Amino acid sequence: MVMSVPLRPLSSGLAATDGSVAIMLALASHMIKHTYWSKDIIFLFTQHEFVGVQAWLDGYFEVQTSSYVKAERLPARAGLIQAAINLELSGMSFGGIDVLIEGINGLLPNLDLVNLVHKLARENGIRSTIHHRPDLFSKDLDKLVPHNILTTFTMMANLATGMPSGNHGLFLRFRVDSLTIKSAPGGSSGLNSVGQLVEGVFRSINNLLEKFHQSFFFYLMPCTYRYISIGLYIPPFALMVAASLIQAIMLWSRFTFEVDTKKSKLIANQDQAFTSDGKFTDDTIHTLRLPDNVVQGVYSLIPLIVGCHLSGLMLLKAPSLFGGGEVKQMPAADTVILGGLAGIVSSMMLIRTVLRKEEFDGINWYLFKTISLIYHGLTLFLLSLLNISLAAIVAAFTVPVYTVIRPTSYKLLTGLQMLLLLLISPVSIILICQTLYNVVTGNAQIHSLEFFSLLTDLQHSVLYAIIDHLVYKNYLLNIVCLVLYPTWLMFWSLLFMNV
Amino acid sequence: MRHLMLLVATLHLLNTAHVFGNDKFTESLQLEPLDNHLVLGQFKFSVTSSPNVLTTGHYHLFPKSLGEILHKYHIQELELSLTQGLWRYARWGIPSDGVANPPGASILVHFDSELPLEDVDKHWKGLINSLAGFICASLNYADNTVATSPQYTFTPRGAFNANKTFQHSHLRYANLPQENVCTENLTPWKKLLPCGGQAGLSSLLNSKPLFDSNYHSMSIIVRPQCKTSECDSINLNLTLGLSVVLAHPKKDYFTLSFLFRNSVGRECHIAESSTVVVKFPTVGKLSLHLESPPDNTVSSEQHTLASYKVTSNFNLKASYKVKPTYGAVAPPVLHTLRYLSGYGQEYGSIVCEITNNAEELIQIVYMEYIPWFLRIYLHTLSITSNGSKVPVSKLLYSPGLERKKPSMFELLLNLPANATTVIRFDVEKLFLKWTEYPPDANLGFHVPAAIITGVIPDAPEGSSIQMLREGYGVVRFYTEKLVVLLPTPDFSMPYNVICLACTVVALAFGSIHNLTTKILIRPKEKKIPIMQRITRKIKKVLGFKVEEAVTSTQQVQSSTDKTPAGETTPRNETSVDSEPTVDGEVSLEDSEVTQRD
């Protein structure tokens, strides 16, 4: 068992953790007197927030998660870690506790541990909250349901980023169930009651014979005493994504049907296949270029799909390329962002020019859209098993647009579709979500909704995502660059295909 | 007649006295203050007897139950220990011999070298089963799939016939780290004492403080012992040891009755000597002041040994000269840290860090003993110190076999001075068959402690030096045991599935069985003449009684006795009822249910 407290310098600007230091020292001197402890208890002080925790974990498990954090040999250790509780209590009296559970890459601790903390808090008369949102005890469903939905969304938004909400989050990578107990402002409960709560949590874990394994690891919490299990949230999500799969099947059947009819028509009316001067008509050329079978059709699409993914890979590698400080008089932050944007725009333009080439005339957009939709649907399903919140958010934005996108000969319609696609590009999704989250949680002032502050917000999000990716191995950037962005690029190229 | 009886009684008495003279019982308790408010109590009850007791069967002080086991299985030396907790070398120092034992239950047996080799396994099996019943511990699990025979680590420590060579094939060692120790083990252990926990020092053995301790270990050691310094004849020695680390927080003194929450009542008159020894550093923060003057004091620059003869109602009070405080403790010459590295349920590596604080090389034998559920990769074995390789003088490896025998290797090493040597090798965790998991599968599996045997330059002094001499000056270190999480299936899932499936089957069986095995045949409709129908309608309207009894009590005849459930008959009835009959008049003979094959 691990009890950890982050040490923060006064200048850090973060909430102090003096209360948790007091509780930890008091509990340590209390616990040492008893012989009923069946497990070793590690009291851990960490520095530099996540970096400190990651360094300790790397040292403990003897791995190197990131090349930017190097761990030294640990002089003391215990065996397998069963659970970790991170305490972030500031001051000597609190308005309650805020239980943070979101871990790295959308991992969650076992629900039993979460329930244990909430239940013990209730028993001890401490108000427990999720992301500072207390439970609403009301019989009025009109008030209760929106409140709980909003709580769920706050949790989902936190999960989708893939970043832990507290120092506990990095433990989850090593299958150590952990959570953070944070203090809420106010003054209703003191150190004593929270100390009792923490002792209760440790005594409970101590009494466990086995590792946490029985209950849920996939859940969402609308309030402290209810949960939505994977069995409940997957079907609605599946319905969302099913739209794109259904359309893929429809296009597939239409494609095969069309190829068959066109070819048979061509064979039937061979005289119509030629113009008066004995050449093929345009229609004939088009029909002849249709693949004989599906496999051939898919082969012709491979260069395009690979190209989309290559540009995604380039985008992933761009930060280390542009952030090297080669460009003078410009901070690394700006060069990285501008470099990334340049990469996106250039690949968008490149696709367009490439598709104008003769060799791509034979591509049938039905087949291409079918494959893109199936690819999109499958990646979303895969993602939902790893991080349901991220998958749901992405699906909510992309599925409606991707299903309606089709090449047209109308310039205006094409322009409109381009606008729609740009609106749901990964970059815009980040921007929209950031703004929404700020508005919902009340973090944003009105003036910060201005365009430039939005841009700085975007810049910050992207930079943080890059740092998280490099230092903590958060795979959000990988997913965006290697899956979401190539898919988006595939649909973008769809617009420029022959009708 | 009366005279004769008296004579017999006297003879009998004489006889007893004669053999009793050969048997010798001594008891002692050594108390030693440790850092951080702890006291180590070390009980030693020793019975010395002639080896003839085993063959003649005339037992006196030597426990018969144990003697019979020793005789039956041809045992030359036996070391059995049951330990809870871990002796923390880094904080408590290197103890005298017999105090530190590996966590859980451990058995070390030297079989008589005259025993044929093929009988060793059979005898081992019999022995562990007998001992399991004898001490109420699940030692019977230590069968040949668990036991091993190391070559260098254990050598006979008792008197040894120089004509016979020591064969490690006649040695068996097994450790069950998951074994819990409790009063059920203490009670049979106490019964081996001549005074049986009623008098003398054994009356201090109160199970509550003993088991509410930081560390406790009870042991049974049987060894042949030289009678004289020439060693021309041999005695059989049984030592029952119990070591316990007790806490006395926030007090600057301790008394015997305070530590053990019991006091010495009567003397044990059988005991030839009964002593309490207090061992403490002559100077330093653990130095003690004794309330009552000891009977005998031996003092050196480092340690003082004060001994008391135990009398009725004996008590002892020792107070610290300096008020004890919590704090860091200087580590001893040699200490170890063993852990499982890596995460996940497939691979990992076992690491043992041995720190040598001495100014000279220390030669050790490192024995690693891994159960079969971990596959060890010997090629990954690396022994380094400060990044440079430490040469291995000798490596003895006995590879493990799945479900048959454990892996074991012994390393002969020279630990560099003032450095930490790291021994590391990779293991693969086996995926067990589903019946091989214990009920608490998610608890993890225990890997026994590694054993380090070596001659330590700065070995503890005093009485323990003597003990060390008996063991040829060799100290055995036991490292931490490990808990390994093997890949564990979700055992509750099949249970849920079975429950659910059974419910569904139970609910669906009747109706589906009916649907699939029976066919409903509509009764032949009787053609009623149209006139009759009209008159009947008119009669009905007018309120006349119409013969409708046949229609309402229409029954489906369950023609065979194969109808599975009683409820199916009415269900069939309703289904037939819902069939639109033309007139609602169906005769009994017409309706039938036939059994379909």
For A349-367, b/e burial (b = at least 16 CB within 10 A) is eebeeebeeeebebbbbbb
The pLDDT of residue B189 is 92
Among A178, A201, A224, which residue terminates a domain?
A224
Interface of A with B (CB under 8 A): 33, 35, 61-63, 76-80, 174-175, 209-211, 213-214
Question: Does residue A245 share a domain with residue A219?
Answer: no
**For the ranges A232-241, A443-452, B464-473, the one whose mean pLDDT is highest:** A232-241
Mutation site for A-interface testing, chosen from B37, B210, B211, B343 by largest number of A Cβ within 10 Å: B343
CA distance A78 to chain B (A): 7
**Contact status, residue B167 vs residue B135, Cβ threshold 8 Å:** no
Q: Is the pLDDT of residue A154 over 50?
A: yes
Question: Alpha carbon of B391 to those of A483, B166, B384, B417: distances in Å?
Answer: 51, 27, 9, 14
Cβ-defined contact of B442 to A76 (cutoff 8 Å)? no
Contacting residues of A for B341, CB less than 8 Å apart: 61-62
**Contact status, residue B238 vs residue B47, Cβ threshold 8 Å:** yes
**Contact status, residue B410 vs residue B151, Cβ threshold 8 Å:** yes
Among A168, A191, A224, which residue terminates a domain?
A224
Gap between the Cα atoms of A187 and A203, Å rounded: 26
Cβ-defined contact of B342 to A63 (cutoff 8 Å)? yes
| Domain residue spans of chain B | 333-488, 490-520, 522-553+572-597
Question: Does residue A454 share a domain with residue A483?
Answer: yes
Select from B247, B339, B492 the Cβ nearest to the Cβ of A79. Answer: B339
Q: Choose among B450, B451, B486, B447: nearest CA to B178.
A: B447
Question: Does residue A294 share a domain with residue A213?
Answer: no
Please classify residue A264 by burial: count the beta carbons closer than 10 Å to its beta carbon, then call 0-12 exposed, 13-18 middle and 19+ buried: exposed
Question: Does residue A213 share a domain with residue A244?
Answer: no
- CB atoms under 10 Å from CB of B550, counted, come to 12
Number of structural domains found in chain A: 2
Gap between the Cα atoms of B237 and B24, Å rounded: 9
Nearest residue in chain A measured CA to CA from B248 = A33
DSSP 8-state symbol, B498: H
The pLDDT of residue A271 is 64
Average pLDDT in the A49-73 region?
86
Cβ-defined contact of A211 to B340 (cutoff 8 Å)? no
Q: What is the DSSP string of A201-238?
A: HHHHHHH-SS-S-SS-SSEEEEETTEEEEHHHHHHHHH
Domain membership of residue A193 (yes or no) is yes
Average pLDDT in the A371-400 region?
90
Cβ-defined contact of A80 to B340 (cutoff 8 Å)? yes
Does domain B333-488 match CATH 2.40.10.10? Answer: no
Mutation site for B-interface testing, chosen from A1, A56, A61 by largest number of B Cβ within 10 Å: A61
Measured in whole angstroms, the distance separating CA A328 from the mean position of its chain's CA atoms is: 34
Measured in whole angstroms, the distance separating CA B541 from the mean position of its chain's CA atoms is: 90
The pLDDT of residue B43 is 93
The pLDDT of residue A118 is 93
Look at residue B575 and give its three-state secondary structure: helix
Look at residue A69 and give its three-state secondary structure: coil
Question: Does residue A386 share a domain with residue A287?
Answer: yes
Please classify residue B531 by burial: count the beta carbons closer than 10 Å to its beta carbon, then call 0-12 exposed, 13-18 middle and 19+ buried: exposed
Question: Does residue A364 share a domain with residue A297?
Answer: yes
Cβ-defined contact of B492 to A63 (cutoff 8 Å)? no
Cβ-defined contact of A210 to B443 (cutoff 8 Å)? yes
**Contact status, residue A168 vs residue A84, Cβ threshold 8 Å:** yes
Nearest residue in chain B measured CA to CA from A65 = B342
CA distance B340 to chain A (A): 7
For A214-237, b/e burial (b = at least 16 CB within 10 A) is eebebbbbbbbeebbeeeebeeeb
Residue B205, both tokens: 């053995």
CA distance B449 to chain A (A): 13
CA distance B409 to chain A (A): 23
Q: What phi and psi, each to the nearest 5 degrees, are found at residue B558?
A: -80, 95
Q: What is the DSSP string of A237-292?
A: HHHHHHHHHHHHHHHHHHHHHHHHHHHHHHHHTGGGGB-TTSPBPHHHHHHHHS-S
Question: Does residue A276 share a domain with residue A139?
Answer: no
Q: What is the CATH number of the domain that holds A43?
A: 3.40.630
The pLDDT of residue A276 is 66
Question: Does residue A251 share a domain with residue A142?
Answer: no
Between helix B568-578 and helix B492-517 the angle, nearest 10°, is 50
Select from A33, A76, A79 the Cβ nearest to the Cβ of B483. Answer: A79
Cβ-defined contact of A175 to B343 (cutoff 8 Å)? yes
- CB atoms under 10 Å from CB of B556, counted, come to 22
Please classify residue B162 by burial: count the beta carbons closer than 10 Å to its beta carbon, then call 0-12 exposed, 13-18 middle and 19+ buried: exposed
Contacting residues of B for A77, CB less than 8 Å apart: 337, 339
Contacting residues of B for A214, CB less than 8 Å apart: 492
Give the strand pairing for B317-320 and B288-290.
antiparallel
The pLDDT of residue A275 is 64
Q: What phi and psi, each to the nearest 5 degrees, are found at residue B243?
A: -115, 140
Gap between the Cα atoms of B131 and B147, Å rounded: 15
Question: Does residue A172 share a domain with residue A122?
Answer: yes
Domain membership of residue A117 (yes or no) is yes
Cβ-defined contact of B337 to A76 (cutoff 8 Å)? yes
Domain membership of residue A230 (yes or no) is no
Domain membership of residue A189 (yes or no) is yes
Widest pairwise Cα distance in chain B:
133
Cβ-defined contact of A80 to B485 (cutoff 8 Å)? yes
Q: Is the pLDDT of residue A296 over 80?
A: no
Q: Choose among B90, B179, B164: nearest CA to B446.
A: B179
Question: Alpha carbon of B27 to those of B24, B236, B272, B290, B370: distances in Å?
Answer: 10, 16, 8, 21, 37
ipTM above 0.90? no
Contacting residues of B for A76, CB less than 8 Å apart: 337
Q: Choose among A262, A269, A256: nearest CA to A288.
A: A262
Give the strand pairing for B374-385 and B392-398.
unpaired
Among A194, A224, A254, which residue terminates a domain?
A224
Cβ-defined contact of A62 to B341 (cutoff 8 Å)? yes
Average pLDDT in the A184-191 region?
80
Contacting residues of B for A211, CB less than 8 Å apart: 442-444, 485
**B236 beta partners:** B49, B224
More confident call, B247 vs A117: A117
**Residue B584 zone, left/alpha/beta (φ > 0; ψ -120 to 50; rest):** left
Contacting residues of A for B480, CB less than 8 Å apart: 79
CA distance A52 to chain B (A): 19
Contacting residues of B for A71, CB less than 8 Å apart: none
Domain membership of residue A462 (yes or no) is yes
The pLDDT of residue B21 is 55
Q: Choose among B296, B315, B306: nearest CA to B33.
A: B306
Mutation site for B-interface testing, chosen from A36, A43, A62 by largest number of B Cβ within 10 Å: A62
Measured in whole angstroms, the distance separating CA A88 from the mean position of its chain's CA atoms is: 25
CA distance A216 to chain B (A): 12
Gap between the Cα atoms of B28 and B211, Å rounded: 20
Question: Does residue A489 share a domain with residue A393?
Answer: yes
Cβ-defined contact of B212 to A79 (cutoff 8 Å)? no
CA distance B343 to chain A (A): 6
Cβ-defined contact of A61 to B341 (cutoff 8 Å)? yes
Q: Choose among B246, B250, B285, B253: nearest CA to B40.
A: B246
Q: What is the DSSP string of A408-452?
A: -S-HHHHHHHHHHHHHTSHHHHHHHHHHHHHHHHT---GGGGSHH
Q: Choose among B289, B261, B294: nearest CA to B277.
A: B294
Domain membership of residue A231 (yes or no) is no
- The residue range of the domain holding A331 is 237-495
Per-residue confidence band for A403, with pLDDT thresholds at 50, 70 and 90: confident
CA distance A63 to chain B (A): 7
Mutation site for A-interface testing, chosen from B89, B442, B500 by largest number of A Cβ within 10 Å: B442
Contacting residues of A for B441, CB less than 8 Å apart: 210
Residue A61, both tokens: 């498990």
The secondary structure element, H or E, covering residue B46 is strand B38-49
The pLDDT of residue B18 is 39
Question: Does residue A136 share a domain with residue A60?
Answer: yes
Mutation site for A-interface testing, chosen from B246, B250, B335, B339 by largest number of A Cβ within 10 Å: B339
pLDDT digits (tens), chain B, 597 positions: 445 444 444 444 444 433 455 788 999 999 988 887 889 999 999 999 888 888 888 888 899 999 999 999 999 899 999 999 889 888 888 888 788 899 999 999 999 888 888 899 999 999 999 999 999 999 999 988 999 999 888 877 777 666 666 778 889 999 999 898 988 999 999 999 988 888 888 888 888 888 888 899 999 999 888 887 777 788 889 999 999 998 876 678 888 888 888 888 888 888 888 999 998 888 878 888 888 888 888 887 778 888 898 888 888 888 888 877 777 777 888 889 999 888 878 888 999 999 988 888 888 899 999 999 999 999 999 999 988 999 888 899 999 998 899 999 999 998 998 899 999 999 999 988 888 888 888 888 899 999 998 877 655 543 443 443 444 467 888 999 998 888 888 777 888 889 888 988 888 888 888 888 887 787 777 778 888 888 888 888 887 766 554 444 444 444 444 444 444 444 444 444 444 444 444 444 444 444 444
Question: Does residue A297 share a domain with residue A345?
Answer: yes
Residue B438, both tokens: 């214990």
Question: Alpha carbon of A195 to those of A83, A113, B534: distances in Å?
Answer: 17, 17, 91
Measured in whole angstroms, the distance separating CA A413 from the mean position of its chain's CA atoms is: 32
Cβ-defined contact of A213 to B490 (cutoff 8 Å)? yes
Question: Alpha carbon of A395 to those of A248, A390, A392, B381: distances in Å?
Answer: 16, 8, 5, 50
- Enumerate residues 6+ apart whose C-beta is below 8 A from A320: none
Contacting residues of A for B490, CB less than 8 Å apart: 213
Average pLDDT in the A163-190 region?
87
Domain membership of residue A229 (yes or no) is no
More confident call, A41 vs A331: A41
Per-residue confidence band for A478, with pLDDT thresholds at 50, 70 and 90: confident
Cβ-defined contact of B442 to A33 (cutoff 8 Å)? no
Cβ-defined contact of A63 to B343 (cutoff 8 Å)? yes
Gap between the Cα atoms of B363 and B491, Å rounded: 47
A-B C-beta contacts closer than 8 Å: 45
**For the ranges A334-343, A358-367, A434-443, the one whose mean pLDDT is highest:** A334-343
Look at residue B351 and give its three-state secondary structure: strand
The pLDDT of residue A323 is 59
Residue type, B389: K
